[in-house]
A and B are shown apart, each in its own frame.
Chain A
Amino acid sequence: MNAPEIPPCFDARPLGRRRTRHRWTLAVLAAAVQFSYVSPAAAQATDATTAVHFLEQASFGPTALEVATVQAIGPPAWVQDQLTVPESPIPDGLDGTAVRAQVYLNMANGPDQLRQRAIFALSQTIVISANKVGGGPELTHWMRLLSRNAFGNFRTLLQDVSLSPTMGKYLDNVFNRRATSTTSPNENYARELLQLFSIGTWQLNNDGTQKVDGVGNPIPSYSQTTIAHFARALTGWTYAPLPGASHGNSNPENFLANLVPTSSASRHDTTAKTLLSGVITPAGLTAAGDLQWVLDNIFNHPNVPPFIATRLIRSLVTSNPSPEYVARVSAAFINNGAGVRGDLSAVFSAILLDPEALSPTAALHGRLKDPVLHVIGLGRALNAQIGDPGSFQNVFTNLSQRVLTPATVFSFYQPTAKIASNPSLFGPEFQLYPPALAVQRANFIYGILTNQYGSAFSVDMTPFRVVAGNPTALVDKVSATLMMGRMSPQLRQVILDATNAVPASDPNQRALGAVYLAAISSEYSVYTGGFTAGGVIPTDLQGPTGLYVAQVVGNIAMLRWNPPLLGPRPDGYILEGGLSAGQTMVAVPTGNQAPFFTVAAPNGSFYVRMRAYRGGAQSLPSNEVRLHINAALRPGAPTNVQGAIKGSALFLAWRNSYTGGTPDYLMLDVTGPATVSVPLPLSESWSLPGAPDGTWTFRLRAVNAAGASSQSGSVSVTAPSTTCALPRVPMNFTVNTGGNVVSLSWDTPSGGTPAAYYMLNVSGAFNGAFPITARNFASPAPPGTYNFSIRAVNACGVGPVTAYQTVTIP
């Protein structure tokens, strides 16, 4: 590669226009990049501390080369670049052990470090385990699925997961059938799809905090009845028939193709089901049709953005993200900037490029490294040769984290776990760091540094040994290698003392001791962003934030806010209010720690704010908001209007606003084929079972005695929905024979939704149906008469069948 191959600058071109052939110039010529061009990113050179911390979050650990790259081009360009790095492959034909080894090697050595880190995070959110699906084909299918979708759309990921034969086997949906006289549908996949993979058990705000009902209790996301209905909607699937085999209801295992509907449609429960958000599926849908309803219903649930954002932030950046950080990542999930919901590349970018990730200021920012991150990160920093892990995988088993082999569908640890010794903080990874395992992890690292694992993990200690005659130089070398020169003076002194106690005649032991102590220190095992916490953790009471009026009914108002993230926990809060900004006419203690308060207020318009109190101390006030009680003010317009067509049913949802007078009712303004205004009660959703055809635009106004608000933003939908349409019939289906060879060919359907694959049906001397992605097929056939037909299939289901073509082989 010559210098002119280096792009002249790194710009913000859209992904599709980036030329991937420049990709590896970055990794190989990182140093040259620093000198050979100046880009806007390079102009704001990233300091080493930020680069190291960024790479701890975005990769399996910084290396000298990657640090130099990030310093040169900056984190945004690095992320953009990584989004297009080709996936590290999982080769064909590996057995289960070899797949797990390959996954680990991709983590350690893959050039697609961000994708590998994303896969690791996703694999702990949407979980399978080699304990049940441990074969090569199972794991290969799964890892390719995660890798392919890591920067794709979450809706596609959910669909691929739901049709995955590996997941079908792991959570038992593969032969899930509708209720019989003695059995009910299998609820396993339905439950975990909702609880673990998408929305969780409690309704969430966009900032990840729990929604609460009128009396302050969290609100369940669904009930057991919901689970039963989802389980029914997910009936009627089986493995794809093996090539040449007939298609039935219980096909043998096949991990080379997605699940397919059973040959008998009656395995699927075709009755109507009530899904989330009150959505009811029409009766009579196929298994494939119902699946689309299920996935759309989940994907559009308001919990998905904060739920997934929180999981991924915890996995990559920090165990204790601020609600504001979660809200910013949720917003990227809801809209990637181009109006697309669920774009995971936007989500990962938002997570890693957020100020809270890049320049953390919170004293509790950071996370304990998982065993895999700790060990692989050490190897990358030491430029170790990391090879086939082979038998030393069992050490990871003892550390509770062998890749792709979690004990349960909850993965290696509960993502919501607090730290046992400090239950005010989240620290999920601490579940893998109880006392005995902390020592076991250190012992594993000692084994690595003493090269006990041969070619599986080979460390060259020479660079340390050659400077071991000078303890200061040795410790500087350790600091430069493991901590990019950021070792604290205190740790440095501790390691110096231990090094000085080893005779200079034993450079091996000096080098080993210095690296070992640094590698097992909490300065290395916990990444904290280089944030110097000493003296910065506030010891005085901090104020609440994010105050808003959640609801007003008559003279009763409900206020919500965020508790202070840092500092002492308040005993409670004080609501202050007055008639002008900053004025305090009344101060009402809430009496408890809940971050919401229902207050009866006289008629009028007030300025209110909250303070925290603890003992006799009070914090500074929160933001101030207006509270209008029965005020002769027009309401504020509803916000966040969203709409969707599902089949012929229309669904609208929005948020009411209390920034003005309290709304009494709403007016829905409809334009399109007809123009009409419909009064609605004060709610936050509306649906219409049969929406007339056409493109409709909806706006809302809130109304009270003082008048109507301005119109909300609009949402437009088109009925009938075109998002899920069956493919049309394949064209030009021809069957020819030559000797005993039957040749079939056909063309794509004319127009309509494209086919994902085709289903070839055979009857006569041979009976069967099997999927095929090509549009031609030739095979010798035994004598007999055969009838062939072909149907196109897509995510919505199976399209209409062609006319039969009959041939006879003499």
Chain B
Amino acid sequence: MHTHKPARRHFLKLSTRLATLGLTGLGLGPGRSWFVADAEAATVVSDYKALVAVYLFGGNDCNNVIVPVDTARYTKYQQIRAGLTLQAGNLLPQIGDAAGNPYALHSSLVEVNALYGIGKAAFVLNTGQLEQPLTRTQYQSGVLAPSNLFSHSDQTLQAQTATSNQTIGGWGGRLLDAFSGNDTLAAVSVSSPAPFLQSGGGAPNVIPPGASLNLSGMNISPSSAAAARRAAVNAMLALDNGHPLRTAANDAFADGLQLADTLNNVGTVSNLATVFPGSGLGTQLREVMKLIRLRSQLGPGRQVFFCSMGGFDTHTNQVGNHNALLTELSQAMGAFYLASVETGLSNQVTTFTQSEFGRTLQPNGTGTDHAWGSHQIVVGGAVRGGIYGQMPDFTLGGLDDANDRGVWIPKISTSQFGATLGKWFGASPGELAVAFPNLGLFTTSDVGFML
């Protein structure tokens, strides 16, 4: 069983469609003829594109990523943020949205600011998990909200799956389902294993930056002995005594061997002039760029990547920690964009941030607590630079606040955010509806930040 094996992926896709029709509960499983027809319907692409998710574990304090600096809003921001206020010295020079409203970025976001200046970066304001459009009144009266709000694990899962239904995989994996010809490099995490990449085809690959993926102990002499040992490994991977956990362990191992073979067969890439920072994210994005170059030279196809940074759960000592985190983020995203320009792939690669939630506008002392809607950054040659969505009203207990600490009720759902990227990726409206099951509940499926 190989990762993203088309048969499994399309089986899943069909199941999802049936589920949306409420049919699976009636025992009407997919018939074989449906299955085949559906497999043939997968989109065949004629170009290469990649989506790169940068996941900020812990809940990024979006309130100090981009700040409205008109007097009215900045005054309210300052009053509530108290000791965590970004003063003039901690903000970069003003930028404006399409309507001319002034904003300024955190002073650590130097590279992102520069990308915004050339129209290659977008900010998507107050986006997050929603089951359906929701007002404060509706939320407080118990209208359907995401389950287990404010919990890291649940919201991480929901941010990555765009649904509270765990069984249908992540939205990155589901977007790949729309396309045929996916291989072992189609869904890769260079960080931890990510639900974002999962779909029915099995575990996505995890490739630690710089790791050797060739199985040790296979090069012995004589060559007949080496061949026999490798044959033994392959034979062992078929032995599971009917035990499903052993089957799963064997599958993982077999996929790992095939991944090594794939990487060995696609050749090598030359060194880039672009220097990546040596930080954790810099190292991950350097590995992603290598895999993008290896894969893109094979011809048309789609790849989805998952990178991550930890440490955004800034309950205490937020000021210094957040400075360092945003510096690492900005430098790595900047270098990655430059490398994509250097390789001529900038219009085919889009990078975006995700995080399980934003943080309370009101501090708890030297830090902030778990909140909900957050602002995300999108970078790439195909990005329509700008500021999208609506900055929340900075009023504790106000219309945008889920409770009374500045917990923003998202105005743009993760599904809309993902579908905007998915449309650029080449998914049809029907395929987007499968990838994002509750997309139809929102007024638009395209937020507009992609060309």
Measured CB to CB, the residues of A under 8 A from B are 131, 171-172, 175-177, 182-188, 191, 195, 201, 220, 224, 227, 319, 363-364, 366-368, 398, 400, 407-410, 414, 418-423, 425, 427, 430-440, 442-443, 446-447, 450, 488, 490-491, 494-495, 497-498, 500-503, 509, 512-513, 516-517, 520-523, 525-526, 528, 531-537, 571-572, 591-593, 613-615
Contact = CB atoms under 8 A, between A and B. Distances in A.
Contact of B166 (A177, A418, A440): A418
B225 A435 contact: no
A799 B268 CA distance: 73
Nearest to A509: B220
Contact of B364 (A185, A420, A523): A185
Given A183-B364, A517-B233, A435 B206 contact: yes
Contacts of A427: 245, 248
Contacts of A509: 220, 225
A435 B222 CA distance: 28
B148 interface: yes
B405 to A, nearest CB: 6
B403 interface: yes
27 contacts: A131-B310, A182-B80, A182-B83, A186-B369, A188-B369, A224-B149, A227-B150, A363-B243, A367-B245, A409-B152, A420-B198, A421-B251, A433-B249, A434-B203, A434-B206, A435-B205, A435-B252, A435-B259, A436-B205, A437-B256, A512-B217, A520-B236, A522-B236, A526-B249, A532-B241, A533-B242, A591-B26
Given A176-B365, A201-B154, A447-B216, 19 more contacts: A182-B80, A187-B370, A418-B166, A421-B248, A427-B248, A430-B203, A433-B252, A435-B3, A435-B206, A435-B255, A439-B256, A443-B216, A497-B231, A497-B235, A500-B228, A502-B225, A513-B220, A523-B246, A528-B245
Contacts of B80: 182
Interface in B229-276: 229, 231-233, 235-237, 239-260
Contacts of A184: 360, 362, 364, 369, 405
Contacts of B390: none
Contacts of A186: 315-316, 364-365, 367, 369
A389 B80 CA distance: 49
Interface string B42-84: 0000000000000001100000000000000000000010110
Contacts of B252: 421, 430, 433-435, 438
Interface of B: 1, 3, 25-27, 57-58, 80, 82-83, 147-154, 166-167, 184, 189, 192-193, 198, 202-208, 211-217, 220, 222, 224-225, 227-229, 231-233, 235-237, 239-260, 310, 313, 315-316, 360, 362-365, 367, 369-370, 403, 405
Contact of A366 (B83, B154, B245, B254): B245
Given A420-B203, A436-B256, A442-B216, A592 B243 contact: no
Contacts of B247: 422
B215 A443 contact: yes
Contacts of A528: 241, 243, 245-246
A521 B224 CA distance: 21
Contact of A407 (B151, B184, B192, B231): B192
Contacts of B241: 488, 523, 528, 532-534
Contacts of B244: 363-364, 419, 422, 425, 537
B243 A434 contact: no
B253 A439 contact: yes
B232 A408 contact: no
B225 to A, nearest CB: 5
Contacts of B189: 434
Given A439-B256, A528-B243, A498 B215 contact: no
Contacts of A410: 152-153
Contacts of B149: 224
Contacts of A450: 217
Contacts of A517: 229, 232-233, 236
B215 A593 contact: no
A558 B186 CA distance: 47
Contacts of B167: 418, 423
Contacts of A440: 208, 211, 213
A543 B405 CA distance: 50
Nearest to B201: A421
B157 to A, nearest CB: 8
Contact of B310 (A408, A432, A494): A408
A585 to B, nearest CB: 24
A439 B216 CA distance: 8
A668 B213 CA distance: 69
Given A184-B362, A188-B313, A528-B246, A421 B211 contact: no
Contacts of B205: 434-436
Contact of B365 (A183, A494, A512, A521): A183
A213 to B, nearest CB: 13
Given A187-B369, A430-B203, A517-B236, A201 B151 contact: yes
Contacts of B248: 368, 419, 421-422, 425, 427, 430
Top 7 closest A-B pairs, CB basis? A501-B228, A571-B27, A435-B255, A435-B256, A498-B232, A446-B216, A439-B256
A437 B206 contact: yes
Nearest to B224: A501
A604 B125 CA distance: 60
Contacts of A224: 149-150, 403
Contacts of A535: 242
Contacts of A408: 57-58, 152, 310
Nearest to A186: B364
Contacts of B150: 191, 224, 227
In the complex, which of the residues B149, B189, B208, B256 has the most CB atoms of chain A within 10 Å of its own CB atom?
B256
A131 B244 CA distance: 35
A423 B195 CA distance: 12
A498 B229 contact: yes
B258 to A, nearest CB: 8
B375 to A, nearest CB: 22
Contacts of B362: 182-184
A537 B246 CA distance: 14
Contacts of B253: 435, 438-439, 442, 520, 522
B268 to A, nearest CB: 18
A414 B166 CA distance: 13
A615 B214 CA distance: 46
Contacts of A425: 244-245, 248
A398 B212 CA distance: 11
B236 A494 contact: yes
A220 B215 contact: no
A443 B315 contact: no
A421 B1 contact: yes
Nearest to A416: B153
B147 A220 contact: yes
A732 B252 CA distance: 70
Contacts of A498: 225, 228-229, 231-232
B325 to A, nearest CB: 14
A421 B198 CA distance: 9
Contacts of A201: 147-148, 151, 154
Contact of A522 (B58, B249, B257, B310): B249
B245 A494 contact: no
A220 B208 contact: no
A436 B208 contact: yes
Contacts of B254: 435
Contacts of A407: 57, 192, 310
B239 A368 contact: no
A416 B211 CA distance: 28
Contact of B249 (A185, A400, A436, A438): A438
